[in-house]
């Protein structure tokens, strides 16, 4: 072979090698731990709609993954309509719920993984259904159960698998939340409490989770983790398989985050669960809501040291959110300080602050509307289930011409301000917070070290400031009032000078009183 031919062969082999490496890189790039950084909770969506949303919206806009509602068989409850919380009353671990059957679930997981959006299952295994649910074939798959005798043959579980003989309260329910033993060994709201100290129970739970891992899910939110001993969760996690190598690197472990409501000073503390994975930080939304509402003398300038110095858990352990499916209804924790889609102006600001700030792993809520009815400070309609047809089946999520959702679905993740801030977070990933500025009140700004800059006006007066952004010189498109489209901005343009300075004007009465720019929105 001539030297020229050998040279051509080397070039060809090099190109082939680069192509292979490139394909590997593209596959790995879809991992949420690289560039995509935010999870969205598509609360009560059908699996067919989730699959469509992955392909048409979530993947193109840089979402990392989806928290889905519990996929396993649950008790069917009519009152006269089916409440959302029936999903948290398991009958078995069969994949069969109002969201769809196992074939639809498999199709969803495959399609979402194929576009790099991962599925995180809300896993309910602290308990089964209510002790007062009676008996019958009233599961979403038609399975028989007898709650009174603790008989769930579709798993199977019997009376040996529950904590009735271990709990020491007269009623069998938690009577004193200051007692960590009661919190973990007694019934939560009458739900029959599984004994996860049993290796049989641990194995049944792990079998369910491994079945889902085999299908291709990426991890789990563990519901009611506060009511399970952390060492028992650890023993279950140890039984879990690695992620499916069809979509994930070999030896990848499931992403675990645990629901622990710890508002400080409680008998069960968040840090007890750090060894198992990440933990929900319920103080995040409560404290941020208090600040943006300007309650108790709080102001946005106080957010300069937002994070651990506010007695929040370490950033690498925290799952953070402005609201979730419980506290947006007045349950859980946070009370009236929690901002929701009903407080749309402040809510957008809160979610955008969360996405711009480096603290924690972010989860975005995507809701549906329900008719609120407040009596004595309580929403007595907080039980209302998702938009449904007369037969109880969940309505599909239609997309309107303007990108919003119909049929009563709110779809906060589709609000353009939130979508564009998901992209902002991906662009600034890994960059420290710099260039903090505030007016000692409710006008604040900060940068993400040469990648992005955001400024808020939550004061009652207009903001007009020249500030150092730390960004390269050029014209940037504000991604709150619009975005970059081709070679122009659809909203406000921000001109950054050679020294990084830029002028900002924000009217205090603006519908979106904040501006965000980043290097990928530069003309």
| Distance of alpha carbon 223 from alpha carbon 120, whole angstroms | 12
CB neighbours (10 Å) of residue 463? Answer: 23
- The set of catalytic residues is 223, 259
C-alpha closest to that of 48 among 285, 396, 453: 396
| Distance of alpha carbon 207 from alpha carbon 199, whole angstroms | 12
Report which secondary-structure segment, H or E, holds 67. Answer: strand 65-68
| Distance of alpha carbon 72 from alpha carbon 95, whole angstroms | 5
Region at 486 (left for phi over 0; alpha for psi -120 to 50; beta for the rest): left
| Distance of alpha carbon 439 from alpha carbon 443, whole angstroms | 6
As a residue count, the chain comes to: 523
Exposed / middle / buried, residue 334 (Cβ in 10 Å: 0-12, 13-18, 19+): buried
b/e sequence 350-386, b meaning 16+ C-beta within 10 Å: bbbbbbbbbbbbbbbbbbbebeeeeeeeebeebbbbb
Helix axes 199-215, 230-238, angle to 10 degrees: 50
Cβ-contact 163, 150 below 8 angstroms? no
* Residue in this structure with the two tokens 């009563």, named with its chain if needed: 408
Write the CA distances from 315 to 132, 280, 318, 434, 471, integer angstroms. Answer: 41, 11, 5, 17, 25
Task: Give residues with Cβ within 8 angstroms of 135, minimum separation 6.
Answer: 144, 145, 146, 147, 148, 149, 151
Question: Does a cis peptide bond (omega within 30 degrees of 0) precede residue 158?
Answer: no
Cα of first residue to Cα of last residue in the chain, in angstroms, is 51
CB neighbours (10 Å) of residue 264? Answer: 10
């Amino acid at each position: 072979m001539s030297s020229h031919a050998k040279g051509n062969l080397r070039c060809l082999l090099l190109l082939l090698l680069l192509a292979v490496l490139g394909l590997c890189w593209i596959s790995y790039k879809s991992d949420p731990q690289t560039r995509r950084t935010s999870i969205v909770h598509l609360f009560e969506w059908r699996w067919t709609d989730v699959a469509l949303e992955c392909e048409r919206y979530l993947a193109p806009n840089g979402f990392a993954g989806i928290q889905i509602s519990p996929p396993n068989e649950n008790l069917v409850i009519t009152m006269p309509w089916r409440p959302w919380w029936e999903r948290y009353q398991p009958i078995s671990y069969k994949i069969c719920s109002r969201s769809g059957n196992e074939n639809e679930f498999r199709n969803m997981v495959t399609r979402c993984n194929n576009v790099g959006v991962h599925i995180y299952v809300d896993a309910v295994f602290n308990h089964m259904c209510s002790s007062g649910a009676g008996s019958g074939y009233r599961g979403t798959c038609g399975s028989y159960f007898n709650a009174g005798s603790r008989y769930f043959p579709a798993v199977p579980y019997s009376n040996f698998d529950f904590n009735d003989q271990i709990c020491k309260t007269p009623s069998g329910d938690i009577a004193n939340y200051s007692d960590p033993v009661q919190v973990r060994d007694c019934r939560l709201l009458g739900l029959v409490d599984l004994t996860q100290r049993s290796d049989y129970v641990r194995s049944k739970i792990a079998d369910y989770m491994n079945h889902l891992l085999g299908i291709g899910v990426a991890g789990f939110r563990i519901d009611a983790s506060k009511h399970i001993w952390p060492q028992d969760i650890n023993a279950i996690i140890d039984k879990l398989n690695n992620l499916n190598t069809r979509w994930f690197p070999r030896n990848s472990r499931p992403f675990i985050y645990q629901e622990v409501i710890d508002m400080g000073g409680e008998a069960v503390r968040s840090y007890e669960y750090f060894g198992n994975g990440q933990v929900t930080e319920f103080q995040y939304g409560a404290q941020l809501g208090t600040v943006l509402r300007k309650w108790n003398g709080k102001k946005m300038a106080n957010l300069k040291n937002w994070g651990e110095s506010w007695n929040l858990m370490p950033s690498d352990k925290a799952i953070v959110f402005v609201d979730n499916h419980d506290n947006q209804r007045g349950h859980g924790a946070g009370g009236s300080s929690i901002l929701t889609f009903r407080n749309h102006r402040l809510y957008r600001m809160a979610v955008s602050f969360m996405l711009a700030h480096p603290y924690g792993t972010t989860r975005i809520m995507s809701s549906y509307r329900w008719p609120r009815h407040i009596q004595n400070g309580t929403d007595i309609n907080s039980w209302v289930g998702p938009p449904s047809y007369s037969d109880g089946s969940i309505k599909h999520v239609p997309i309107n011409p303007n990108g919003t959702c119909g049929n009563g679905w709110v779809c906060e993740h589709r609000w353009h301000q939130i979508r564009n801030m998901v992209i902002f977070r991906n662009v600034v990933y890994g960059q420290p917070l710099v260039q903090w500025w505030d007016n000692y009140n409710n006008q604040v700004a900060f940068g993400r070290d040469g990648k992005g800059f955001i400024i808020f006006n939550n004061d009652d007066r207009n903001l007009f400031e020249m500030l150092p952004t730390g960004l390269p010189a050029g014209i940037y498109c504000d991604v709150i009032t619009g975005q970059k489209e081709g070679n122009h901005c659809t909203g406000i343009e921000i001109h950054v000078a050679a020294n990084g300075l830029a002028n900002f004007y924000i009217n205090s009465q603006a519908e979106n009183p904040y501006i965000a720019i980043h290097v990928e929105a530069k003309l």
